[in-house]
Structure 1
Amino acid sequence: MNVPETPVQSVPDDAYLLDVREPEEWTAGHAPGAVHIPLGQLPARVAEVPADVPIYVICRVGGRSAQATAWLNHLGREAINVGGGMMSWASAGKAMVAEGGHPPYVA
């Protein structure tokens, strides 16, 4: 599968970041300002994804987000996979937040 990909360091601070991980992964830790739509819900919720801006798609390590990126591009959206996913995001020291008051981590 050939999809556009960018390293986490190249994701703009004001990017539309779509996190396609499962709810428990999201709760553990995610990028501030990211939008959460699990991969399995994306077809039913695609109307929530803007059509007029680049969409940076992220998961844990990059596999699910690559699937979502390919599908969104097939629909005519401009989607870019975030290489290495949240594992790379955390390793790069980029900001993370968690739900439930515990320190964020990548589940």
Structure 2
Amino acid sequence: MKTAHDLVVEAKKSVEEISVDQAVKAIQSCDVLIDVRETEEYLAGHLPGALHMSRGMLEFKMAGNPKLQSRDLNIVLYCKTSGRAALCAQSLAQMGYSHIQSIAGGIDAWQAAGHDVFKPAQPSFE
């Protein structure tokens, strides 16, 4: 029986992880940047331009969006620390996507390196 940690370690063996420094350039040239965290995490702050597709819905949202059908898309994924993104990258590879990168360390590493995140304005009810 495997643990969640075992699954992540296994996924990372087959996933292209890129550093935050490499991610800056990769994001500029990618077709789609995807945040695979949960909705609350995404709304608390995300990388500018990132689409939200939580890990549990990723495959369905990719399959259901005609703009995301090409298996040649350049995809960059991230999560909080890179575990969920690695699992998602592995899943997308199994679906036939061939250009997938995952940001090592996730949004935590992104922010630790001093990069900005987009924080949507919360509605005011006053």
For the aligned pair, the TM-score class normalised by the smaller chain equals: 0.7 to 0.9
Greater helix content? 2
Partner of 1:82: 103
Give the letter for the 1:5 counterpart: E
Q: Which of 54, 62, 87 is 1:67 aligned to?
A: 87
Deviation at 1:46, TM superposition (A): 1.4
RMSD of aligned Cα (Å) = 1.5
Give the letter for the 2:49 counterpart: G
Deviation at 1:60, TM superposition (A): 0.2
Structure with the bigger RCO (C-alpha within 8 Å, sep 6+) is 1
Normalising by structure 2, report the TM-score.
0.73
Deviation at 1:53, TM superposition (A): 2.3
| Structure 1 runs of 4+ with >2 Å offset | 47-53
Partner of 2:21: 9
Q: SS state of the match for residue 57, structure 2?
A: helix
Q: Which of 30, 34, 50 is 2:50 aligned to?
A: 34
Partner of 1:105: none
Q: Percent identity?
A: 33
- How many residues are aligned here? 101
Give the letter for the 2:77 counterpart: V
Q: In the alignment, is residue 54 of structure 1 matched against residue 35 of structure 2?
A: no
Distance 2:20 2:69 in 1: 21
Structure 2: runs of 5 or more not aligned: 1-9
Distance 1:9 1:83 in 2: 10
Confirm or deny: 8 A CA contact 2:33 2:75 kept in the other structure: yes
Distance 1:20 1:84 in 2: 13
Deviation at 1:74, TM superposition (A): 1.4
CA deviation map 1:66-92 (0-9, x unaligned)? 000011111121211110000001011
Q: SS state of the match for residue 89, structure 1?
A: helix
User: Greater Rg, structure 1 or structure 2?
Assistant: 2
Deviation at 1:50, TM superposition (A): 5.3
Deviation at 1:94, TM superposition (A): 1.5
Structure 1: runs of 5 or more not aligned: 102-107
